[in-house]
Amino acid sequence: MQKFSFVQWFRNISIAKKLYFAVGIMAVLIAMELLTLWFAVTTLSSVRAFVGGEGLWSKSQKDAVYHLRKYGRMKKEEDYLKFQEFMKVPLGDRKTLMELTKPVPNIDTARQGFIEGRNHPHDVDGMIKLFTRFYFVSYISKAIEIWKEADAAISPLITISEQMHTEFHSSAPSQEKLNEMLQQVDEINDRLTVLEDNFSYTLGEGSRWLEDLVLKLLFAVALTVEITGLLLTFSVSRGIQKGLDEILRVSKLVAKGDFSAKAKVYSGDEIGVLANAFNQMATELGESISERREGETKFKDLLESAPDAMVIVNREGTIQLVNRQTEKLFQFTKQEMIGGKVEMLIPERFLQSHAGHRTHFFSDPKVRAMGTGLELFGKRKSGEEFPVEISLSPIETEEGIWVSAAIRDITDKKRIEEALKEYARKLELSNTSLEQFAYVASHDLQEPLRTITNFTKLLEEKEQHTADETSKKYMNYVVNAAERMKRLIRDLLLFSRLGKKHIVELINFKDLLHEITTDMEALITESGARIAIGKMPVLPASKTEMKLLFQNLINNAIKYRKPDVAPEVEINAMKQANGSWQFSVADNGIGIEPEFHEKIFVIFQRLHNENEYSGTGIGLATCKKIVELNGGKIWVESKNGEGSTFYFTLPANRHGYEMPMMGETQTENK
């Protein structure tokens, strides 16, 4: 276990804590000084009180002896009473002396005794503390012994006074006895005088000793406060100055380019943290300069290896740097281009038409790109102009922000674009012709189908009584096949014409779904279906296409239901994180195997034969085309026997506006 070092601890704490510590130590020492002063004042005050108490004791004793003598001569009762009154002072002090010499004294009794001895109540507690706390001090101990001796010596005065009082009141008072008593009083008085002088002298000596001791203590504490303050101040200031000098020394070396120099860390305080930070900064600065030099070399290598012509110009449009590809593309040498104006590479009329780019860029250094894919014309040394694509980006340099231009010859690209435009024009003409053909073909195909259907029905009516069952069955097959063919042609025509009249408007999908369920009321009622509609948005889309989309999805949900189970369809919409809306149409039908989830959206793909579920195989392909025409996508999540949920998305702001979510409603038809 590492041994604790106060010096190391003090060195590592923060400067603020060092100052707090120094101030705290000074405060403690000053408090000790004040406490010593208070102790001296209170103790000397107690000694003074004892001296005063001795004076009261001596005066009362002398007055008592005087009146006792006078009583012995004059025989006046009032002198006897005055003797008793003056004796109350020594008797009160006796009560205190007897109580304080007990193993467990009663302080209240001792206090009462001093007060009866005419001591001031404010001095009593200090006198008791001096007696009890400093009994071991020789001066106090000696004074107490003298007090005890004097108290023992004064006791006979009371006995003598009582004998004298008895003798005066006897039938035949003896003057001889009275004289003997007065002689005893004088002897006692002389003895007490000596004791009183010794008591006063002893307390005086003790007072002078205590005063000298207190002065020495106060001087020692004051000296300690001054020395401690100086040491702490010197230690803190020296530590700060030493650390700052070291940082200043290393900073001069770093300024000269010596990034390997490191400031010595003397402590863990703010100066030490500053030294560590300075060392880290110097290291990172050295690495940064080294990396910058390497970066400049790599930049030049990268510039030369770029497949495009790279031209770097300053704020005035003066060419500063070019690569080999620039020489090859514009047929100028580097020496001819560097220092020249950018107009020698890009015709001035094109620069003027794009002046806003350059002006805006140079006026605002925060801009991080001037333009990408600007298509202009370049000019070779021969004067030949050719199409180019220019990408501009800023470069921060010591001289300000420069512009890097990547220039690419797009002559072949323009040629291909023109060819693609011509191809698109021809394709549009072809699509128009195909649409016209599909319309005419579907119209012309439906006419013979109607003829077949009508004549077959007429034949069926004519022969209904004579035709056998086989003939009737065949005629029924012909009619059903013709009807299916008509539906197929009609759906195919509708599919081919989707998007031709793509009129976008704001659609309240809540109202649209209400309109659709109203139109399908007969089918919903017949099947006992329940249609639940959640909250719907208002979005821009083609109303005709959206209506056809929901009709197909709801119709499929009802058609592909489980036997003896009423269809339940739930339609919801939810806004996505990217701002688009995701719709869902969920049912409790027969479900779809996962391997067919993609196949069902392909035209003419059917999972069931006509006898099981009727249809042309175009409905979901139509839904897919509608969703994609409106900028979304469609998919299904389903398992066989567990129902299906068709999802599709629509962008909210594809046409520049968006409306809020509408309230939730529910439609039930049974």
Q: Is the pLDDT higher at 220 or at 297?
A: 220
3-state secondary structure of 542: strand
Tell me the C-alpha distance between 506 and 654, whole Å.
12
Buried b (16+ CB within 10 A) or exposed e, 64-78: bbbbbbbbbeebeee
Band the pLDDT of 441: cuts 50, 70, 90.
low
Q: Where are the beta strands (DSSP E) in 349-399?
A: 371-379, 385-397
Q: State the Cα torsion 428-433-435-440 to the nearest 10°.
A: 170
Tell me the C-alpha distance between 250 and 470, whole Å.
113
- Cβ atoms < 10 Å from Cβ of 210: 21
Q: Is the pLDDT higher at 539 or at 270?
A: 539
* Res 302 pLDDT > 60: yes
Arithmetic mean of pLDDT over the chain = 77
* Res 369 pLDDT > 60: no
Of 385, 413, 370, which Cα lies nearest the Cα of 329? 385
Band the pLDDT of 505: cuts 50, 70, 90.
confident
* Res 585 pLDDT > 90: yes
Tell me the C-alpha distance between 126 and 121, whole Å.
10
* Res 331 pLDDT > 70: yes
* Res 270 pLDDT > 80: no
* Res 222 pLDDT > 60: yes
Least confident of 19-28, 118-127, 485-494: 485-494
Residue 628: predicted pLDDT: 85
DSSP classification of residue 173:
-
Residue 563: predicted pLDDT: 83
Q: Is the pLDDT higher at 226 or at 327?
A: 327
Q: Is the pLDDT higher at 156 or at 239?
A: 156
Tell me the C-alpha distance between 602 and 621, whole Å.
5
pLDDT digits (tens, 9 = 90+) for 159-178: 888 888 888 888 788 888 88
Question: 96 burial class (0-12, 13-18, 19+ CB within 10 angstroms)?
Answer: buried
**Entry pTM:** 0.36
* Res 519 pLDDT > 50: yes
Of 669, 632, 623, 670, which Cα lies nearest the Cα of 652? 632
Q: Is the pLDDT higher at 343 or at 653?
A: 343
Band the pLDDT of 582: cuts 50, 70, 90.
very high
Tell me the C-alpha distance between 128 and 43, whole Å.
11
* Res 428 pLDDT > 70: no
Contact partners, residue 568, CB within 8 Å, separation at least 6: 529, 530, 532, 587, 588
**Percent of all residues in the chain with a pLDDT value above 70, rounded to a whole number:** 75
**Percent of all residues in the chain with a pLDDT value above 90, rounded to a whole number:** 6
Residue 646: predicted pLDDT: 92
Average pLDDT over residues 383-391: 86
Average pLDDT over residues 253-264: 76
The H or E element containing residue 361 is helix 355-363
* Res 570 pLDDT > 90: yes
The encoded tokens of residue 228 equal 């401690």
Q: Is the pLDDT higher at 63 or at 473?
A: 63
* Res 364 pLDDT > 80: no
The H or E element containing residue 530 is strand 530-533
pLDDT digits (tens, 9 = 90+) for 93-117: 888 888 888 888 898 988 888 888 8
CB 337 within 8 A of CB 319: yes
* Res 264 pLDDT > 70: yes
What is the number of residues in the chain? 670
